[in-house]
Each structure stands twice: as C-alpha cells, then as structure tokens.
C-alpha cells in the first residue's frame, strides 16, 4: 500500500517538475533574450582603399566582359591587374591577366591574349593553384586552336592529356574533354573525338553546366555531320538549338541554325527550309560580328541557292561574300 | 502527500530534484537581482543621483515653454534640471518662480554676476534655461571639507551650509519664445504694410502728375513753334513798327507784349509756381514716408538678427541630432536581430572566365 502511494507521488512529482522549472526558467530566458537582443556585432572591417579600388576595377571589368564591351574590358582588366600587382596579390593578378587575355582574344589580338594567358598560367603554377592553372591551360588551348598554331596545340595536348583535370572539378574536365574532342576531330580521329565529347557531356551534366552540355551537343552534331550521319546530326542540331534558346545564347542559336541548314543542304532535303535557316544564321553572325562563321554560312547559302537553281540570287550572295571577304582581310591584318 | 509517506528511495530522488530546482531558482533570482542592481547603478550614474547638487532660483515674466525636468544648460552642457515652476501670488513684482538644480562641478562656474537666460528652444514655443558663467562676481558655492556652503549675503561674503541656505537667486534675462517673436515681427510687418501701400499710391500720383506736366510741356513747345512761325511777319512789320514808335499809341511795350499775351504769361507763371510748390510738398512727404519705411526695415532686420543670436544653439543641436541618429542607424545595422534587413547586394567574386567552344567556325 505504501509502495503504491509512493509511486503515485513520484508520478505527481514528475508532472509538476517541468511546470515548475518552466516558470523558473522564464525570467532567466527573458534576461538572456534581452542581453542577446541588445548586444551588437562589431562593425565589419573596412577594406584598405587600395584593395577596395582594385576589387572595384575587377568587378567593373567583369561586368564589361559579361556585356561583351571588350575594348573597355581590356582597359579595366589592365587596371585591375596593375593594382593587384602593386598589392602583390598574385592570385587576383593571375585572374585579371587571364581575363585580360580573354578580352584581347575577343577583339582578335590572339598573340597578346596568348602572352597574357601564359603569364597567368605561370603565376598560378608558382602559387600552386591547380584549378585556376587548368582554366589558363584550357584558354590557351582555345587561343592556339583559333590561331591555328597546330604544333603548339599538339605539344600542349600531349602534355595535358597525361594528367587531365581532377575528378573533383567536373566543369574543368568538361571544358578539357570538349577541347580534346575538337582536337581529335581536327586530326580526323572521329572515334576518339566522339569518346571525348561523350566524356565532356557526362562531366558537364555532373557539374550541372547546361551551357556546356548544349555546346557539347552542338559539337557532337557537327561530328555526325562530318560523318554524313545527317538524320542524327539534324536531330542533335535541333535539340542543341532548343537548349541554346532556353539559355538565350545568341552565338549558340546562330550556330545551330547554320548547322541545321547545312545538314539539310548536305542531305539534299527541304532546300527552301535550308535556305531560310542559312539566311537567318548569316544575319545573326553579321550582328554578332562572327566573321568566319558568317563567311561559312554565306558559302553554304550560295551552294543552297545554286542547288535550287536560283542562279541570280546565288550570284548576288556570292558577290556579297566576295565583298565581305575582301573587307574582312585587311581588318585581320 | 506528506514526504514521510514516500519510500526512502523516492524520497532521496525527490529531494535531489528539489535541491536542483531550488539551486536553479536561486541562480535565476541572483541573476535578476544582479541585473536590477546593475540597472540601478547605471541609472544613478546617468541621472547623477549621487552627484552633489545646489539649488538656484530666478523670477520670470512667464513660464511658457518651461516645465520641471527640463535641462539647464551652461556653455552648451546639460548641467542640471528645473525642479519647480510656480506662479507667484497676484500683485507681486515677478510673475513666475523657477527653481533649478545645478550639479557638481558646474555650480563652481556660477558667481553672483551669473545670469539665467531663457532662450527659445524650437519653433513650437519651447524654451530652456541657460546659466552664464560668472566673470567678476563672487562664487555662489564654496566647498570646505566636502561640505557645501551657499552664498547667503554677497555684500558681507557670508556663506551658509546648503542645508540651511536652500537656494540662491540669480537674475534672469528673458527672451520671448520664437513663435512670439515671429508673431511680433509679423505684426510689425502688418503694421508697416499700410505705410508701404501709401508710398506706392503717392508715387503713383507723382508719376501721374509728371505725365500731365510732360503733356503740357509738349503742348507748350508746339505752341512755341507756332509762335515762331507767326513771328516772321513781326520782323517784316518791324520797320513799320519802328516808324510808328513816335506815335503815342504805338509805344514799344504795347507793341512787343500786347495786353492779352501779358495776361496769359502771368497765368502761366502762376500755374508753374503752384505746380512747383505742390511737387516740393509731395517730395517732402515722400521723403518722410521713405524714412519711416527704412526705419521699419532696419527694425525688422534688427529683430531677425536678434532671432538668429537667440537661436544660435539650434544649429549645433540639429547637427548633434543628426550625428546621434547616424550612430543609432549604424548600431541597428550591427544588431544581430536587425542586421539582416540592411544586408546589401554582394557582387559575385571575380574568377577566370572560360567558356566551352563550338568547333568549326572560329
């Protein structure tokens, strides 16, 4: 009987304890809340003026690059690089030099771009920044490819393929494999190119890079086109165009339109549609100042018009193409 | 249920829990008491409860804009507060009794020649007391062995303990509130307006008279021209006239200025004289009115100057207010509860740009 009473009392004690402790906690909790609410963090440290100026120059340059205002971007990246050099901030100096090189590349000064990218690569190698160094190397591959420096490109690929980018950087891997695929394709090794593009596609998908995936798809379509697999190529170009349209990427859309037109022309199907696609692509390339691509599109358009026996129009486009090539040649020099 | 009814094991467990709860409650109570004591100490320091203070009083014509608890200033510092504002009985020389306390060490600045200035604090009728630093009088407070003595008789230099001599009277220099001064200024401007309007009316009359005079002068010149033209036959007839000079009816004066012309010349001269006299009178009146207007303007500018002098502290107080408001905002920006509301847009870190290339074209 005593035991039963004791058990009941224990149960009551257990019930009343949380209530009591809750009431006793209230003033303490309120005091703690007041103390915490009234406390304030120390003000954030103020950046030195020189650092703030350098960062500001780099941010401005980045915006100019994003807006493709290349001449202004060159000026600002140079400013940022100079400021970071004065501060001996070599990591940011390497980034500024890299982006300065990319801006020079965009305005067609490939030699200067190459030199700047090499400087950035050297700095990153000294600092042991592998990821940034890989970005420099990939940009150098693109510049050498664009400048048609085959020997330098081969030597660089021979050096880089022995130790590809680490698996922890799928985006870098995607960029590298994409360039590798293009290199193999240029050498006529289409099977290796297909394999490289497949790897690039997988790594871009792993990195969640939608633009990279769309680019690889376009390159695979071009590979199918080279292999005269027109049905596959047409399908891939269509899908690539859809992806570029979703990403609102004008160069990609123009390349896809040109690719679809070329494939239809190569397959000898629906030539009026091919003509329309090539005309639209040519106009887009003209607006984007992508002269080589525009010349290719115009050549395809001439062939398309000739195939349709529109000789007058073909002659007119050929004339425009000749005039364009004549005006573009001095600009390159 | 009594504790004795429990089993020893349960009793032990319960007593342990009760001890823990008791310790917690004790700790919480101690924390609360510590906080309260800290708050009390902080408040006492802020309000100067433990700082010695001395009472002063003054008499004013009005207690408008003053109330107990308002700060008393000395050289721009808050040195005390008003403790009492009361109306005096009727038929007294002064209307309002104002008592205020000045804390240590500022009462050391108050000498017998110190004044209590009542200055306008804002445009809403607020006023405040400002005591001035003594220059050549005697100190109103003397400290000896940590005891305060207040001046009881300035002539004899007699000091009494503060407990006995409750307060010391200072002379007041009272200026009306800003609103009252503005109202007075508006009233003066309003009173001056009829004079200004009168001037403009008189100037208008003078201009009208001048216009008429010019018109008349033009007519006179035209008539003179006609007269010159008409004088040509006179020259022609001069020989005839001179030949007739010996005739008693053809004397020179009568020939040169006939009777009707003489009458007209006299009338014209009389009118001209009257016009000049009127113009002179008008000019004198205009000059007098202009003098009055200039005096009014000088008074207005003098009032404005006095206004600016009286409110010299307003600008510094507004500046202080802005600085404090900025401090408050900076504090709020750093507060953990509110700082998320002030976070700005951060830029994406700068990185090396590489984009994949589509083959073929480039």
Total Cβ atoms within 10 A of residue B172: 18
Cβ–Cβ below 8 Å for B354 and A182 = no
Average pLDDT across chain B, whole number:
82
Question: What residues of chain A lie within 8 A of the CB of B341, using their CB?
Answer: none
Q: Which of residues 51-90 of A touch B (CB under 8 A)?
A: 55, 58-59, 61-62, 65, 80
Residue A281 within any structural domain of the chain: yes
More reliable by pLDDT, A164 or B53: B53
Q: Is the pLDDT of residue A10 over 50?
A: no
Residue A227 within any structural domain of the chain: no
**Per-range mean pLDDT, top range of A144-158, A209-223, B112-126, B184-198:** A209-223
Cβ–Cβ below 8 Å for B361 and A296 = yes
Q: Is the pLDDT of residue A4 over 50?
A: no
Cβ–Cβ below 8 Å for A182 and B357 = yes
Mean pLDDT in residue range B152-176 = 83
Question: Chain A residue closest to B25 (CA)?
Answer: A24
Residue A18 within any structural domain of the chain: no
Mean pLDDT in residue range A24-52 = 71
Does residue A43 sit at the B interface (CB-CB below 8 Å)? yes
The closest of B245, B264, B263, B246 to B255, measured between CA atoms, is B245
Q: Which two tokens stand for residue A78?
A: 């140079």
What is the pLDDT, as a whole number, of residue A88?
Answer: 94
What length does chain A have? 333
Cβ–Cβ below 8 Å for B6 and A222 = no
The DSSP letter of residue A1 is -
Percent of chain B at pLDDT exceeding 90: 14
**Separation in Å, CA B233 to CA B222, B237, B276:** 19, 6, 35
Question: What residues of chain A lie within 8 A of the CB of B35, using their CB?
Answer: 31
R_g of chain B, CA atoms, integer Å: 46
Q: Which two tokens stand for residue B298?
A: 């000088």
What is the pLDDT, as a whole number, of residue A38?
Answer: 58
Question: What residues of chain A lie within 8 A of the CB of B334, using their CB?
Answer: 40-43
Cβ–Cβ below 8 Å for B10 and A9 = yes
Question: Chain B residue closest to A175 (CA)?
Answer: B356
Cα gap A84→B288, rounded to integer Å: 78
Nearest to A219 among B13, B358, B362 (CB): B358
Is A58 in the same domain as A157? Answer: yes
Question: Chain A residue closest to B26 (CA)?
Answer: A24
Residue A268 within any structural domain of the chain: yes
Q: Is the pLDDT of residue A3 over 60?
A: no
Question: Chain B residue closest to A147 (CA)?
Answer: B362
Cβ–Cβ below 8 Å for A24 and B21 = yes
Lowest pLDDT segment from A78-82, A239-243, B276-280: B276-280
Write out pLDDT tens, residues B290-320.
Answer: 888 888 888 888 887 777 677 767 667 778 8
Cα gap A80→A100, rounded to integer Å: 9
Write out pLDDT tens, residues A70-103.
Answer: 889 999 999 999 999 999 999 999 999 999 999 9
Mean pLDDT in residue range A195-208 = 92
Any bridge partners for residue B99, and if so which? B57, B84
What is the pLDDT, as a whole number, of residue A39?
Answer: 56
- Three-class DSSP category at A36: helix
* pLDDT grade for A306, boundaries at 50, 70 and 90: very high
Nearest to B350 among A95, A179, A204 (CB): A95
Q: Is the pLDDT of residue B3 over 70?
A: no
**Locus of tokens 């110190």:** B114
The closest of A248, A258, A186, A191 to A218, measured between CA atoms, is A258
Cα gap A178→A52, rounded to integer Å: 37
Query: Residue A195 — φ and ψ, nearest 5°?
Result: -65, -45
Residue A115 within any structural domain of the chain: yes
Please report the number of interchain residue pairs, chain A to chain B, with beta-carbon separation below 8 angstroms: 139
Specify whether the CB–CB gap between B326 and A183 falls below 8 A. Answer: no
Cα gap A218→A244, rounded to integer Å: 10
What is the pLDDT, as a whole number, of residue B359?
Answer: 78
Write out pLDDT tens, residues B229-258.
Answer: 777 777 777 767 666 666 655 556 666 666
Mean pLDDT in residue range B343-359 = 78
CA distance, residue B349 to nearest chain A CA (Å): 8
CA distance, residue A232 to nearest chain B CA (Å): 18
Residue A63 within any structural domain of the chain: yes
Question: What residues of chain A lie within 8 A of the CB of B355, using their CB?
Answer: 211, 215
Q: Which of residues 274-293 of A touch B (CB under 8 A)?
A: 290, 292-293
Q: Is the pLDDT of residue B49 over 50?
A: yes
E strands, B43-163, where?
Answer: 53-60, 71-74, 77-87, 96-103, 115-120, 127-131, 141-144, 147-153, 158-161
What is the pLDDT, as a whole number, of residue B321?
Answer: 87
Q: Is the pLDDT of residue B214 over 60?
A: yes
The total number of structural domains that make up chain A? 2
Residue A176 within any structural domain of the chain: no
Q: Is the pLDDT of residue A279 over 80?
A: yes
What is the pLDDT, as a whole number, of residue A43?
Answer: 64
Half-sphere exposure of A2 toward its Cβ, with a 13 Å CA cutoff? Answer: 10
Specify whether the CB–CB gap between B94 and B126 falls below 8 A. Answer: no
Tell me which of A97, A126, A161 is where a domain ends. Answer: A161
What is the pLDDT, as a whole number, of residue B251?
Answer: 56
The DSSP letter of residue B348 is P
Nearest to A59 among B331, B347, B353 (CB): B347
Specify whether the CB–CB gap between B61 and B94 falls below 8 A. Answer: yes
| Interface with A, mutate which of B22, B337, B352 (most A CBs under 10 A) | B352
Question: What residues of chain B lie within 8 A of the CB of A293, using their CB?
Answer: 361-362
* pLDDT grade for B173, boundaries at 50, 70 and 90: confident
Nearest to A41 among B14, B21, B336 (CB): B336
Cα gap A64→A67, rounded to integer Å: 5
Nearest to B353 among A6, A80, A102 (CB): A102
* pLDDT grade for A6, boundaries at 50, 70 and 90: very low
Q: Which two tokens stand for residue A329?
A: 């040649």
A109 backbone φψ class: left, alpha, beta (φ>0; ψ -120 to 50): beta
Domain of residue A144 covers 53-161
Nearest to B350 among A58, A175, A218 (CB): A58
**Locus of tokens 């035209």:** B222
Does residue A218 sit at the B interface (CB-CB below 8 Å)? yes
What is the pLDDT, as a whole number, of residue B279?
Answer: 87
Question: Chain B residue closest to A54 (CA)?
Answer: B350
Cβ–Cβ below 8 Å for A17 and B21 = yes
Lowest pLDDT segment from A118-132, B34-48, B67-81, B213-227: B213-227
Cα gap A214→B198, rounded to integer Å: 90
The DSSP letter of residue B345 is P
Nearest to B361 among A24, A42, A255 (CB): A255
Residue A236 within any structural domain of the chain: no
Cα gap B278→B287, rounded to integer Å: 14
Half-sphere exposure of B199 toward its Cβ, with a 13 Å CA cutoff? Answer: 14
Query: Residue A298 — φ and ψ, nearest 5°?
Result: -65, -40
Is A254 in the same domain as A157? Answer: no
Total Cβ atoms within 10 A of residue A323: 10
Mean pLDDT in residue range B56-70 = 88
Lowest pLDDT segment from A300-309, B137-146, B203-212, B312-321: B312-321
- Three-class DSSP category at A41: coil
- Maximum CA extent, chain B: 174
What is the pLDDT, as a whole number, of residue B4?
Answer: 63
Any bridge partners for residue B161, and if so which? B149
Q: Is the pLDDT of residue B176 over 80?
A: no
Q: Is the pLDDT of residue A2 over 50?
A: no
Nearest to B28 among A24, A175, A204 (CB): A24
| Interface with B, mutate which of A7, A12, A62 (most B CBs under 10 A) | A62
Q: What's A65's domain CATH number?
A: 1.25.40.10
């Amino acid at each position: 009987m005593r035991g039963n009473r004791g058990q009941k009392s224990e149960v009551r004690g257990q019930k009343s304890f949380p209530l009591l402790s809750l009431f006793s906690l209230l003033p303490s909790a309120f005091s703690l809340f007041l103390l915490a609410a009234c406390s304030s963090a120390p003000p954030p440290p103020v950046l030195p003026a020189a650092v703030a100026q350098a960062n500001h120059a780099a941010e401005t340059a980045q915006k100019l690059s994003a807006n493709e205002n290349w001449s202004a971007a060159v000026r600002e990246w140079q400013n940022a690089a100079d400021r970071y050099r004065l501060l001996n901030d070599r990591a940011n100096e390497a980034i500024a030099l890299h982006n300065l090189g990319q801006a020079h590349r965009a305005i067609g000064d490939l030699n200067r771009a190459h030199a700047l990218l090499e400087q950035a690569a050297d700095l990153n190698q000294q600092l042991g920044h592998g990821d940034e160094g890989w970005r420099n190397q990939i940009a150098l591959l693109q510049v050498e490819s664009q400048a048609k420096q085959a020997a330098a490109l081969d030597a660089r690929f021979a050096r880089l393929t022995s130790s590809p980018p680490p698996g922890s950087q799928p985006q870098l891997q995607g960029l590298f494999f994409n360039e590798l695929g293009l290199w193999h394709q240029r050498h006529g090794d289409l099977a290796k190119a297909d394999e490289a593009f497949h790897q690039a596609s997988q790594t871009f998908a792993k990195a969640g890079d939608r633009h990279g995936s769309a680019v690889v798809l376009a390159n695979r379509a071009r590979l199918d086109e080279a292999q005269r697999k027109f049905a596959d190529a047409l399908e891939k170009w269509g899908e690539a165009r859809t992806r570029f349209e979703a990403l609102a990427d004008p160069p990609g859309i123009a390349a896809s339109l040109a690719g679809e037109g070329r494939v239809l022309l190569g397959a000898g199907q629906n030539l009026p549609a091919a003509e329309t696609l090539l005309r639209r692509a040519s106009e887009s390339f003209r607006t984007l100042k992508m002269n080589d691509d525009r010349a290719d599109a115009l050549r395809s358009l001439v062939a398309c018009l000739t195939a349709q026996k529109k000789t007058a129009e073909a002659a007119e486009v050929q004339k425009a193409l000749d005039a364009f090539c004549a005006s573009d040649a001095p600009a390159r020099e | 249920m009594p504790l004795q009814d429990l089993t020893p094991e349960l009793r032990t467990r319960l007593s342990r829990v009760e001890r823990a709860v008791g310790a917690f409650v004790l700790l919480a109570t101690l924390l609360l008491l510590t906080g309260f004591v800290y708050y009390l100490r902080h408040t006492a320091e802020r309000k100067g409860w433990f700082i010695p203070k001395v009472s002063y009083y003054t008499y004013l014509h009005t207690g408008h804009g003053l109330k107990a608890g308002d700060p008393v200033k000395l050289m721009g510092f808050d040195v005390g507060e008003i403790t009492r504002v009361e109306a005096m009985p009727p038929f007294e020389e002064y209307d309002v009794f104002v008592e205020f306390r000045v804390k240590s060490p500022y009462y050391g600045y108050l000498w017998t020649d110190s004044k209590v200035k009542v200055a306008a604090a804002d445009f809403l009728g607020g006023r405040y007391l400002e005591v001035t630093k003594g220059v050549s009088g005697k100190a109103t407070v003397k400290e000896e062995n940590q005891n305060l003595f207040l001046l009881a008789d300035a002539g004899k230099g007699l000091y009494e303990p503060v407990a006995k001599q409750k307060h010391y009277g200072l002379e007041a220099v009272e200026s009306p509130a800003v609103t009252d001064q503005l109202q007075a200024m508006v009233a003066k401007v309003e009173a001056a307006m009829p004079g200004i309007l009168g001037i403009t009316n008189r100037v208008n009359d003078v201009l009208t008279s001048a216009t008429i005079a010019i018109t008349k002068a033009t007519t006179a010149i035209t008539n003179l021209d006609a007269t010159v033209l008409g004088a040509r036959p006179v020259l022609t007839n001069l020989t005839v006239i001179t030949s007739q000079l010996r005739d008693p009816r053809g004397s020179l004066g009568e020939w040169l200025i006939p009777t009707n012309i003489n009458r007209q010349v006299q009338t014209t001269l009389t009118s001209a004289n009257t016009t000049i006299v009127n113009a002179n009178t008008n000019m004198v009146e205009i000059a007098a009115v202009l003098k009055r207007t200039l005096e009014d303007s000088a008074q207005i500018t003098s009032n404005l100057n006095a206004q600016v002098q009286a409110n010299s502290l307003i600008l510094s107080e507004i500046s202080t207010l802005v600085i404090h408001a900025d401090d408050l905002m900076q504090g709020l920006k750093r507060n953990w509860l509110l700082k998320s509301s002030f976070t700005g847009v951060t830029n994406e870190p700068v990185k090396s740009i590489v984009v994949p290339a589509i083959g073929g074209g480039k």
